[in-house]
Amino acid sequence: STVKTSIVLSSESRKELAKQAKVTKEERRAQLDGRHMYLISRLADGIDLSEQQVEEIIISDDKFQLVEQFFAPSGLKKLLFFYQDVLQQKSNASLRPDGSTNNLPQKKLFITTGSTEDFTGTCAFFLRTSDEVITASNVSQEANFGMFDCTNGNILQGLEFFLSQIMIPALKSQQNWGAVKEGLKNSQIQEFLYEVDKFVSTLSSSRQNIEDKIQLTKVDIDIYVRNLQNPSDYINAG
C-alpha cells in the first residue's frame, strides 16, 4: 500500500513539474524579441539546427537567465553555448543488475558558464564590445559571434585553427584600428600581430608534442623476481 501511494505521488509530481515547465517555457517565449532572435539566427547558422529548434532549446534551458544578464547594461561579458554529446537516460530505462541505467550519448545544445561542464565538442560564443545595454537595434554591433570546434576534447587544435584560420586573417585585413590612424603600418599593431602569430606557433608545437608523447606502461616487476634463486636467474631477469 505504501509503495503504491509513493508511485502515485511520484506520477502526480512529475505531471506537476511538466506543467510548470510548460508554463515557464511559454512565459519565456513571450519575452523573446529582436535580440533573442539575432542570437538564435547566428546559432542556427553555425550549428546544424533550425531556428525553431534553437528557440525551443533556449527557452527550455535552466540557464536561460544568463541570456538576460548578457543583455543588461554592464552585464555578462560573454555568453557561451556548448554543442556536444551528452549522456541521456531513457525515461523507460530499467536498472541493470549493478544498479546502473542505460545511458546513450546524444548531441545537445545548451547554455553554459564554461566552468561546470567538460568541453568536448563545439563552442558557440557571443562577446560584448561595451557596457551599453544591448537592444534589438544595436545587438548586431554590440555582440560579436564566433565558434570553435574542439571535437573529442582537442581544445589546443580547435583554438589553433580558430586563431590561425579565422582571427589572424581577419585582423590582418582590418582597415579600422580606432585611434591608430596608420593601421597595419603602425609598429605597435605589427608587434601585436607578430606576438599573436608566435602564440599560434607555440600552440601548434604544444599540440604536436602532446600527440607524439610516449605512453609508458606499468610493469609488474614481481613476475620477474619472485622465482630468483641463483646468479643465472638474475642474469636472465636482467
Residue 9 has pLDDT above 90, yes or no: no
Q: Is 25 exposed, middle or buried (0-12, 13-18, 19+ CB in 10 A)?
A: middle
> What is residue 228's predicted lDDT score, i.e. its pLDDT?
85
Distance between CA atoms of residues 217 and 201, nearest Å: 31
Distance between CA atoms of residues 118 and 153, nearest Å: 8
> What is residue 188's predicted lDDT score, i.e. its pLDDT?
92
- Can you give the residue ranges of every domain in the chain? 17-87+104-152, 153-214
Rounded to a whole number of angstroms, the distance between the first and last alpha carbons of the chain is 71
Residue 69 has pLDDT above 90, yes or no: yes
Q: Is 191 exposed, middle or buried (0-12, 13-18, 19+ CB in 10 A)?
A: exposed
> What is residue 224's predicted lDDT score, i.e. its pLDDT?
75
> What is residue 235's predicted lDDT score, i.e. its pLDDT?
84
Distance between CA atoms of residues 169 and 176, nearest Å: 14
Distance between CA atoms of residues 40 and 45, nearest Å: 9
Q: How confident is the model at residue 108 (pLDDT cuts 50, 70, 90)?
A: very high
pLDDT per residue as tens digits for the range 156-187: 888 899 999 999 999 999 888 888 888 889 99
> What is residue 113's predicted lDDT score, i.e. its pLDDT?
94
Could you tell me which residue, 46 or 213, shows the higher pLDDT?
A: 46
Distance between CA atoms of residues 150 and 145, nearest Å: 17
Least confident of 6-15, 52-61, 102-111, 152-161: 6-15
Chain CA centroid to CA 162, Å? 14
> What is residue 150's predicted lDDT score, i.e. its pLDDT?
87
Residue 78 has pLDDT above 90, yes or no: yes
84 in Cβ contact with 107 (< 8 Å): yes
CA trace torsion 26, 30, 34, 38 (10° rounding)? 0
**Other CB atoms within 10 Å distance of the CB of residue 28:** 19
157 in Cβ contact with 138 (< 8 Å): no
**Mean pLDDT in residue range 126-145:** 94
**Mean pLDDT in residue range 81-101:** 67
Chain CA centroid to CA 172, Å? 27
What average pLDDT does the chain have?
A: 87
Could you tell me which residue, 173 or 94, shows the higher pLDDT?
A: 173
Q: Which residues of 42-55 are buried (b: 16+ CB within 10 A; e: fewer)?
A: bbbebbebeeeebb
Residue 90 has pLDDT above 60, yes or no: no
